Chains A and B, each alone.
Chain A
């Protein structure tokens, strides 16, 4: 029994170990358990691109950070209160982030001379006083785990693999978590005798923490007072996938995904391939180009067509995207951004594909662009992207990033009745008389979506310039100018569907403008700055093309505006050229999200 239970509002916990130590799994279990205990939470999985980088090296360290709270929170937290370090490399890579006075739990079994060498420690950090200022909890995790499972007759390697559950059991004790979620999960996930081994290790970790009095106290993080509703813990990838499935249902059309495996977008392919009962077709193509081309083929065939990828894939899909623009077919291209250029930082987050989203095609080739703000926001943004693609008959670029895709938060589930049907307005044989494929809706400028199989609407489309109305191939100079203007005008017409931006906080002080996944860090920083008495407002953009109608006026209202983004200033440059307003550019390009503290410092500079 804990001698003492303290109640705290918020905890930031980070698990770190080798890529093969099961840190992502451990973090996910802690997250799911905390979600069901009613905490608000935000997670940040951070792992190398290599599946099993050399064991014990800093390059191979995989981490999972979780912020759970009884208050509303929006970020995974700047600095961990508690770090679980499974080896010296994990300690070395993460100790710099730990809060002063924070707790570090280390696996002393992995601190041999050889282990220290692999982590490039010249001396043992547990002995040289370098960890002064932290509460160091030394645990022989491997030995204790081995002992806890010894009756099952596992070999050394097998029993050692259970040690993440031992560590999880300790942290469950430390934060008074209910272990039943994880216990049930283990029983469903592992076969005998590994289910028993993991259960025993988990329980042994809990018991060890309980009886050895390693900790001065345990902690209680009460449930958060979230707005009433039914909640589920959700990652951005899953929310996005559910949004797409919902879009297919609401449009009463088949959902089609063409995709090629790419980090960090593959989860969309994985998730959607499980929705075959909705009639969802997932096509794992031979390459990125085939993936988008198959999707365009499916769009021609009447499907709600999606293609998902990350930066390198977007570069490859550019030509096909141009075809979707000129043939005016509905399509959603999802770009789960990662660090670039080239292969860059496949598992790290970045917002450096705004330029390619807005401008990255040959010819005058505009397409709408929107971005999700949080993991659960991916659901709504997916629905909106499909709605716009279908309504205006054009490809829409939807931006998320690695941080959103892999990060999780509680999602207040939508009332299904509140989801509006998507009207596809498909051409029928009734209009066969005098039918012309490029005749348009006067309001949206959308052309007909006439699906092969419909009697009397036979027509040909293609990549050659089209004569407006007939859709016939045309090299006429005036027609080309007309069509180029028309394709640009279609983007502007979407503004009718883009809500005006609202300023959070002060409208006439320092204004921070952000887009995409930086929402949480910026909003948290703005709250903190305002709590300190600064006059600060926040504008977060979901729509990047077209921009909201009142954006220019809103920015002009600020005494000083700054654009915060994880690149070298792409939105800043875009807004500057659109509005000719002097704004500060706040950037970070380290493959990591903004820390709120970094943004507070920037706000102070602008104040």
Chain B
């Protein structure tokens, strides 16, 4: 994005479209929509430079509700559309909205490839661990044993851990947040916007119709201090109720995580891990934490890495420095020719 554009200021409502929102009342998507609109308003990017691309599923109706350029595409294929659009039009701020089924099942292939290429877009994956729009089948993030319409005796599939998949695909930015953690959600979306490369954000999202309470363990106010750790670069990994004794995380000699009880937040000591978002080993440990460990929220991994679209533009720039670059006469009349009189 050019920084020379005249300064643009927007309000959240500038990003609200005139379309009736057709998500179920109480859906977690509303909160995400609201925070995305809020962040867009503050980015200083002209409204016409945003493009929101989605696949298929409840979450993928998102572009219709954003007053920007938008494209509701095909199930699972949004990363490919987003890649093509970004290559065609590198000035755009491209945002991709997807779900757990869209990204990790039918679109698994495209999902890993956009991450490894590091195309400069933001990829927000709403994870509700269920197929909502098709009315309640288990998804690739559903837990084993889950009873759904298609798994009356319980799901047999081992679920994906989305952030670990993203790390496995060499994503340069991996973050996790929750639909109702409004402030953190907004912060992570802002961080995603600021990152160059594919910014992957997993958003725990409640489907109150087909999978209500799927994330109660992390959203329940009574218990969430114990079940969630907010990670921040350079700060110790400490969690637990502020009223009671705090807990910390450390690794043993086998690189296994351990929860340390009674940690003094002012002086946690050397053994408590300090979050380093550039450390892929730590990122993998954090991404996979499940009870009895706290679930990690925030920017889990972030590194600078060349973007694919940047490389494409660079090669073209280099190629155009030769004499007669782009000359059609040279292209057609060059090489071995002969003349018939």
> A residues bordering B, Cβ < 8 Å?
32, 35-36, 38, 181, 223, 225-233, 242, 245-246, 249, 254, 256, 258, 275-281, 283, 285-287, 289-291, 293-303, 305, 319-320, 323, 327, 413-414, 416, 451-464, 472-473
Q: How far is the CB of A472 from chain B (nearest CB, A)?
A: 7
Give chain B residues whose Cβ lies under 8 Å from the Cβ of A291.
Answer: 80
Bound-complex Cα distance A280 to B319 (A) = 10
* A38→B84 contact, CB < 8 A: no
Q: Does B67 contact A (CB under 8 A)?
A: yes
Contacts A286-B110, A416-B329, A462-B64 known; list 18 others, CB within 8 Å: A223-B340, A225-B340, A228-B340, A230-B339, A230-B340, A276-B318, A277-B322, A286-B109, A290-B79, A290-B109, A293-B77, A299-B84, A301-B84, A452-B48, A453-B69, A453-B91, A458-B69, A460-B71
Query: B331–A460 contact, CB under 8 A?
Result: no
B47 at the interface (CB under 8 A from A): yes
Interface assignment of B7: CB less than 8 Å from any CB of chain A = no
On chain A, the residues within 8 Å of B56 by CB distance are: 463
Contact among A245, A258, A323, A453 with B84 in the assembled complex (CB-CB below 8 Å)? A258
Decide: B53 and A297 in contact? CB cutoff 8 A: yes
The answer to whether A301 and B88 touch across the interface, beta carbons within 8 angstroms, is yes
Q: How far is the CB of B339 from chain A (nearest CB, A)?
A: 5
Chain A residue nearest in CB terms to B47: A458
Q: Please name all residues of chain A whose beta carbon is closer than 8 Å to the beta carbon of B67 when the two chains form the complex.
A: 458
What residue of chain A has the Cβ atom nearest to residue B68's Cβ?
A458
Q: B325's closest neighbor in chain A, by CB? A: A277
Whether B73 is near chain A, meaning CB under 8 Å from some CB there, is yes
The reply to whether B72 and A230 contact each other, CB–CB distance below 8 Å, is: no
Interface residues of B in 48-105 (CB under 8 A from A): 48-49, 51, 53, 56, 63-64, 66-74, 77, 79-89, 91-92
Flag if A276 contacts B333 (CB, 8 Å).
no
B312, chain A: closest CB distance, angstroms: 6
Q: Enumerate chain A residues within 8 angstroms of B332, measured Cβ to Cβ.
A: 232, 242, 246, 413-414, 416
With a cutoff of 8 Å between Cβ atoms, the chain B residues found around residue A275 in the complex are: 331
> What band does the interface of chain B fall in when counting residues whose beta carbon is under 8 Å from A?
35 or more
Let me know if A416 and B328 touch, CB within 8 A.
yes
Chain A CB within 8 A of B151 CB = no
Asked whether any CB of chain A lies closer than 8 Å to the CB of B316, the reply is yes
Could you say which residues of chain B place their CB within 8 Å of the CB of A305?
84, 88
**Contact in complex: A290, B113 (CB < 8 Å):** yes
> Is B25 in contact with chain A by the CB < 8 A criterion?
no
Is residue B326 within 8 Å, beta carbon to beta carbon, of the partner chain?
yes
B341 on the interface (CB 8 Å rule)? yes
Q: If the complex has contacts A246-B328, A302-B89, are A456 and B110 also in contact, measured as CB distance less than 8 A?
A: no
The secondary structure that dominates the A interface is mixed
Question: What are 9 A-to-B residue pairs whose CB atoms are below 8 Å?
Answer: A36-B338, A256-B87, A279-B320, A281-B87, A289-B77, A290-B83, A300-B88, A462-B71, A473-B64
Bound state CA distance, A449 and B66, in angstroms? 20
Q: Is the CB of A290 within 8 A of B92?
A: no
Contacts of B85 in A (CB 8 A): 297-298, 300-301, 452
B 210-239 contacts with A by CB, 8 A: none
Given A297-B80, A300-B81, A464-B72 contact (CB < 8 Å): yes
* Inter-chain contacts of B333 with A (CB < 8 A): 230, 232, 413
In the complex, which residues of chain A have a beta carbon less than 8 angstroms from the beta carbon of B279?
none
Residues of B within 8 A of A242 (CB): 331-332
B336 close to chain A: CB less than 8 A: yes
Kindly identify which residue among B81, B336, B341 contacts A36, using a CB–CB cutoff of 8 Å: B336
Q: Decide: A290 and B312 in contact? CB cutoff 8 A.
A: no
CB distance B338 to A463 under 8 Å?
no
| Whole-angstrom distance between the Cβ of B20 and the nearest chain A Cβ | 10
Q: Which residues of B contact A319 (CB under 8 A)?
A: 74
- Judge whether B335 is part of the interface by a CB distance below 8 angstroms: yes
Question: Do A294 and B87 have beta carbons less than 8 Å apart?
Answer: yes
Residues of A near B88 (CB, < 8 A) are 254, 256, 281, 297-303, 305
Question: Are A279 and B316 in contact (CB-based, < 8 A)?
Answer: yes
Q: How far apart are B325's CB and chain A's nearest CB, in angstroms?
A: 4
Chain A residues, CB < 8 A from B51: 301, 452
Min CB distance, A309 to chain B, in Å?
14
B241 contacts A by Cβ under 8 Å = no
Whose C-beta in chain A lies nearest to the C-beta of B309? A281
Q: Would you call B150 an interface residue if the criterion is a C-beta within 8 Å of the partner chain's C-beta atoms?
A: no
Task: Indicate if the CB atoms of B336 and A285 lie closer than 8 Å.
Answer: no
User: Is A455 a contact partner of B48 (Cβ separation < 8 A)?
Assistant: yes
Q: Output the least CB separation between B120 and chain A (Å).
A: 14
Residue of B with least CB distance to A460: B70
Q: Are A297 and B320 in contact (CB under 8 A)?
A: no
List 6 tightest A-B contacts by C-beta distance, closest first.
Answer: A462-B72, A297-B84, A301-B88, A294-B84, A293-B80, A276-B319
Task: List A contacts of B316 (CB < 8 A).
Answer: 276, 279-281
Residues from chain A with a CB closer than 8 A to the CB of B72 are 460-464
Contact B113 A231 (CB under 8 A): no
Using known A-B contacts A36-B338, A320-B74, A413-B337, determine if residue A460 contacts B87 with beta carbons closer than 8 Å.
no
Tell whether B19 is near chain A: CB-to-CB under 8 Å. Answer: yes
Interchain CB contact under 8 A, A294 and B83: yes
Q: Are B320 and A277 in contact (CB under 8 A)?
A: yes
Q: Which of B17, B63, B83, B339 has the most C-beta atoms of chain A within 10 angstroms of its own C-beta?
A: B83
How distant is the Cα of A323 from the Cα of B77 in the complex, in angstroms? Answer: 12
A233 to B337 CA separation, bound complex (whole angstroms): 8
Query: Chain A's nearest CB lies how many Å from the CB of B98?
Result: 13
CA distance A302 to B92 in the complex (A): 12
Residue of A nearest to B53 (CB): A297
Q: A293 contacts B73, CB within 8 Å?
A: yes
A463-B84 contact, Cβ under 8 Å, with A276-B315, A452-B51, A458-B68: no
CB-CB nearest in chain B for A227: B340
In the bound assembly, the distance between CA atoms of A294 and B88 in angstroms comes to 10
Q: How far is the CB of A564 from chain B (nearest CB, A)?
A: 31
CA distance A276 to B335 in the complex (A): 18
| A416–B63 CA distance with the chains assembled, in angstroms | 43
Whether B326 pairs with A38 at a CB distance below 8 angstroms is no
Closest residue of A by beta carbon distance from B69: A452
Contacts of A413 in B (CB 8 A): 332-333, 337
Inter-chain CA distance A319–B80, complex, in Å, is: 14
Q: Are A279 and B77 in contact (CB under 8 A)?
A: no
Q: Which of B248-297 contact A (CB under 8 A)?
A: none
Complex CA gap A289/B19 in Å reads 30
Residue in A closest to B81 when the chains form the complex, CB atoms: A297
Please pick, from B110, B318, B331, B336, the residue contacting A290 in the complex, using a CB distance under 8 A: B110
Question: Do A298 and B340 form a contact, CB below 8 Å, given A278-B326, A458-B67, A461-B71?
Answer: no
Is B46 in contact with chain A by the CB < 8 A criterion? yes
Nearest B-chain residue to A243, judged by Cβ: B332
| Chain A neighbourhood of B341, CB < 8 A | 228
A73 CB, min distance to chain B CBs, angstroms:
15
Nearest residue (CB) in B for A289 is B77
Residues of chain A with a CB closer than 8 A to B329's CB:
416
Given known pairs A319-B74, A460-B70, the reply for A279 and B326 (CB within 8 Å) is yes
Are B340 and A231 interface neighbours, CB within 8 A? Answer: yes
Check B315 against A460 for contact (C-beta < 8 Å): no
Question: Which chain B residue has the least Cβ–Cβ distance from A231?
Answer: B338
**In the docked arrangement, what's the CA distance between A296 and B48, Å?**
19
Return chain B residues, CB-CB under 8 Å to A286: 109-110, 113
Cβ B89 vs Cβ A296 within 8 A: no
The answer to whether A461 and B337 touch across the interface, beta carbons within 8 angstroms, is no
Which of chain B's residues have a CB closer than 8 A to the CB of A279? 316, 320, 326
Q: List residues of chain B with CB within 8 A of the CB of A302.
A: 88-89
Nearest A residue to B112, CB-CB: A286
A461 to B82, CA, bound (A): 14
For residue B83, which residues in chain A have a CB less than 8 angstroms away from its CB? 283, 290, 294, 297
A170 to chain B, nearest CB (A): 23
* Min CB–CB distance B193 → chain A (angstroms): 17
- Which B residues are in CB contact (< 8 Å) with A249? 326, 328
Return chain A residues, CB-CB under 8 Å to B319. 276-277
A413 to B332 CA separation, bound complex (whole angstroms) = 7
Q: Is the CB of B46 within 8 A of A293?
A: no
